[in-house]
Structures are given as structure tokens and as C-alpha cells.
Structure 1
Amino acid sequence: MGKMELFDLEKHFAFYGAYHSNPVNIFIHTLFVWPIFFTSLVLFFFTPSLCHLGPFAFCPFKCGQGLAVNFGFFFALIYALFYICLDKKAGSLAALLCFICWVSSNFLGRYLGFSLAWKVVLAAQLICWTGQFIGHGVFEKRAPALLDNLVQAFLMAPFFVLLEVSFCNPLTNLRMMSLELKIKLHMLSSFFILQALQSLFGYEPYPGFHASVKAKIDAEIKEWQDKKQKKIS
């Protein structure tokens, strides 16, 4: 992937959107993606620290040593910078959420201690990953994006969920949930959700973003359908 493609929001969103066009699957990912990110940071809190920021007297937890600058910090930093490069407005919000997750994971990790934290993280990860695989297998009826591009899928998942939530029109979602889950609706659902933010708030990363993403998602799904049909025949 070239430098320009690395920060191509349309390409990333279309790739991830092609695997998450079913409204039920999108809802499942909305519930479970950010908890996976957060609990990963809780586990990363126990990696060796370069230094500590703080301490903070206002903290109600056991955070007298302050915030640990360790692998978890750089993990969150990479995500935050990547999202800002993709889109300054939505990316800044995503970066703020990454920072909040990192700070909260420090407090929670120190409060729980490793002996309890790893059990909480394991349970959360199992629940969240199981839910997502059910979403793909039962509702989307397509393998997860991570099986085709692991790095892209992991990087885009939290940002995709944030955009979907930001773009969401509840009335539109209720109508879509009541319709048959056919492939044509799968192709259109992400476009409708994206259109909601534009119509309600007038926001679009840049002019023509929604139309371009819809075209790319349609092409991605058609290519997948063709490959699936060839395997069957």
C-alpha cells in the first residue's frame, strides 16, 4: 500500500464498508469494537514503562504513580495520528477517544492489578470477538475483513464505527432493520447511513465523498459476489 493509499479515507471506508453493510452487523460492531480497543490498552498497561506522567491527586483510583508511557501509549498514539491524517474533524474526535481510552486504561489497570485485569480483559475480548463473528456469519454472511487484510481491518474498525454512529439516522435504521436482509440493501445501507449525517448536519469529509464511497462499496460487493459465484459453479 503506497503512502497516498495509506491515508485514502475513501479506500479504507469502502474496504471496511463492503464487509459491514448489514445493519445488524453494523450495530454489533458498534457495541463491541471500542471495548476491544479499550481492553487491549488495559492489558498493554502492564508492559514496561519508559516514564510516568503525573501523579494526579484528583484520581479516585490507585494512580499515585501517574500515567504510564509504555506500549499502550504508543499503540493509542499510532491510532490517533492515523485517524487525524484520514480526516481532521472526525479524526480529531477519534483521537480524543483514543486518548480517553489510554488514560482510563491506566487507571483501571492499576486499580485492578494484573492478576484480575487479565481475566477481565480475556472475558471482554471473548465476548466481543464472538459477537462480531456471529454478526458476520449469521447476518452479514461474509467472512470478516481481517481475513483479507488484517492490518487495515484492525486500524479502521474503531474509526469506521465512530463514523457510522456519527452518520446514523435512528429512523432510517429502524426502517432498514424491518426490511429483508438482501444483498441489494446491503449495498445501499452504508450509503444511506452516510447520507444521514450530510442531510442532518451538512457534514462530509470532502465534496463527493459519499457518492465515491458508495460506488466503491458497490464494486467491492459485486467483486465478492462474482468470486463466490465462481466457487459455487
Structure 2
Amino acid sequence: MGRSGLFDLEKHFAFYGAYHSNPVNILIHTLFVWPILFSTLLLMYFTPSLFNFPYGFDPGYGLILNLGFVFTVIYSLFYVCLDNKAGSLAALLCFLCWVGASLLGQRLGFSLGWKVGLAAQLVCWTGQFIGHGVFEKRAPALLDNLVQAFLMAPFFVLLEVLLSVLDYEPYPGFRTTVEARINADIQEWQEKKQKKIS
């Protein structure tokens, strides 16, 4: 049984899915969404620590509890609330990205690290806009709902892979219900588009 309100997985997935129905666009997002998260965390590595540890405690290994850590915790908790199983996997991936980005940031240093992070962002975002403009032929979800698009993107991609490859469903009937909502949304969008043309 699905949840409602902020943690309504069907609603979030259907919203995002309506903007990503073309197979090539889905593949592009599968390849680029998680690297966007990783490179964002790399850029956030260079923000100052938000916590002052007593007695000189330091987590070590370049792991700074800064904006990137807070970002990771918020995303992880949101995903677990959406779906315990897939959300826990997404949360683990988020924390692995944070650790990896922190280690890379420490190794590269600020002067090179921000350039690598920015270059990755440019490549990945360009790929996604090509996916929407050339293949999907629909503006990205972020133009209609910025927060939902950014927050849902990594989880949507992961859940899409789990649905397609492992036939995973958060609960029985999820796929059928979501596909119906996605198709209805796409049809509504196409009708509005047709009215603007005519």
C-alpha cells in the first residue's frame, strides 16, 4: 500500500516518469544522474564544517560533516521514507557517493577539485538536456517543479533500473498504477501542446 502526501511514491514517480518516457532519454539519465549527485557532493566538500567536535575529535579520512553531509542525510532519509527497501539501497549509494566525493576532494584539493566537479556537471547536464530536447521532446521536469525534480532524480533512476532489470515493485500493483498515471499525464500534456499549436 502506498503512502500519501510528501512520501507518496506513486505521485513522485509518475510526475518524474511523465518527463522520461523515451528509452534513450531514460538511458541518458541512468548514466548521468548519479554522477551529477557525486560531482555536487565533490563541490560541497569544499564548504566549511558545520559541526565543532569536542576534544579535537576528527572523523578522519577527509570526511567533513559539512553541507555535503547534510545534503546526503536529507536525501537518504527521504528515500527511505518513500520505500524501505529501494530507499535503503539509495541511501547507501548516497553515503558511498559522499565518502567517495570527500576522498576525491581531499586528494585533488580545492584548485583542481572544483574544476573537476564543474566539468562533470557541464558534461552531465548537457547530456540530459540533449536527452530531453532531441529524444523526449519535452522540457525537463525541473522547469515545472525544481525541488521535486532534483530530489527525485537519483531515486527515480535507481527505481527505474530495479523495476526494469529485477522486476522489483515497492508493493503489488505499483507498476500498473504508475504507468496509468504516467500515460494520463503524457496524454494531458500532448493535448495542451496540440491546443497551443492549433
- 1:33: how far off? 0.4
**Is contact 1:53-1:69 (8 Å) kept?**
no
CA distance in 2, matches of 1:4, 1:31: 30
Match of 1:21 in 2: 21
Structure 1 counterpart of 2:150, one-letter code: F
Give runs of aligned pairs for residues 1-233 of structure 1, distance below 5 A.
Answer: 4-49=4-49, 50-51=51-52, 53-55=58-60, 63=61, 66-169=62-165, 197-198=166-167, 203-233=168-198
- 1:81: how far off? 0.4
TM-score (norm 2): 0.93
CA distance in 1, matches of 2:82, 2:43: 27
CA distance in 1, matches of 2:71, 2:181: 30
CA distance in 2, matches of 1:18, 1:165: 16
Partner deviation per Cα, 1:163-192 (whole Å, 9 max, x = no partner): 1222224xxxxxxxxxxxxxxxxxxxxxxx
- 1:54: how far off? 2.5
- Structure 1 moving runs of 4+ over 3 Å: none
CA distance in 2, matches of 1:23, 1:17: 11
CA distance in 2, matches of 1:228, 1:5: 29
- 1:88: how far off? 0.2
Structure 2 counterpart of 1:118, one-letter code: W
- 1:207: how far off? 1.8
Aligned residues: 191
Can you give the 5+ residue segments of structure 1 that lack an aligned partner in the other structure?
56-62, 170-196
Structure 1 counterpart of 2:195, one-letter code: K
SS of structure 1 residue aligned to 2:171: coil
Structure 1 counterpart of 2:185, one-letter code: E
RMSD of aligned Cα (Å) = 1.4
SS of structure 1 residue aligned to 2:64: strand
Percent sequence identity is 74
CA distance in 2, matches of 1:5, 1:217: 18
- 1:67: how far off? 1.2
CA distance in 2, matches of 1:210, 1:230: 30
CA distance in 1, matches of 2:95, 2:117: 19
CA distance in 2, matches of 1:167, 1:53: 40
**Is contact 2:163-2:169 (8 Å) kept?**
no
